[in-house]
């Protein structure tokens, strides 16, 4: 099984991060990879040093991140590739997000 390791420039721009991630997923699939792995925070683009308190997350665009997660899932299903992508995972009100990994199947599920 061919596994690709991908490193993007991580920024606070969720849409930009998502676009770069999808581009690298497509490149990995074109090169025969079955799985592509991205770094911590690749999608959400947050820095632990910048966002330590729950209030720091008040301006985070959760809807944009959800849209990017759906787009990535769709692409993984279309290209029949698995992906592992770092990002913030929302928790209950008053709690900071988890630093998480999103795992996408080759059938388009996250």
Residue 109 placed within a domain: no
pLDDT given at position 5: 98
Contact 110, 103 (CB under 8 A): yes
- Domain assignment of residue 57, given as a range: 3-104
Residue 69 placed within a domain: yes
Mean pLDDT of the chain: 92
Q: pLDDT of 45-96, one tens digit each? A: 876 555 666 677 778 899 999 999 999 999 999 999 999 999 999 888 777 7
Q: pLDDT of 22-46, one tens digit each? A: 999 999 999 999 999 999 999 998 7
Q: Is 5 helix (H, G, I), strand (E, B) or coil?
A: strand
Residue 76 placed within a domain: yes
Angle at which helices 14-30 and 62-79 pack, to 10 degrees? 10
Residue 110 placed within a domain: no
Number of domains the chain is built from: 1
Residue 39 placed within a domain: yes
**Cα 53 from Cα 5, distance rounded (Å):** 31
Residue 52 placed within a domain: yes
CATH code (residue 13): 3.60.110.10
């Amino acid at each position: 099984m061919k596994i690709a390791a991908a490193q993007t420039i991580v920024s606070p721009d969720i849409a930009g991060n998502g676009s770069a991630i999808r581009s690298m997923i497509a490149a990995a699939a074109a090169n025969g990879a079955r799985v592509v792995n991205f770094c911590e925070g690749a999608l959400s683009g947050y820095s632990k040093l910048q966002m330590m308190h729950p209030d720091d997350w008040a301006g985070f665009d959760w809807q944009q991140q959800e849209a990017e997660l759906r787009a990535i899932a769709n692409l993984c299903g279309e290209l029949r590739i698995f992906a592992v992508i770092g990002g913030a995972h929302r928790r209950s009100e008053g709690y900071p997000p988890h630093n998480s990994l999103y795992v996408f199947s080759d059938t388009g599920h996250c």
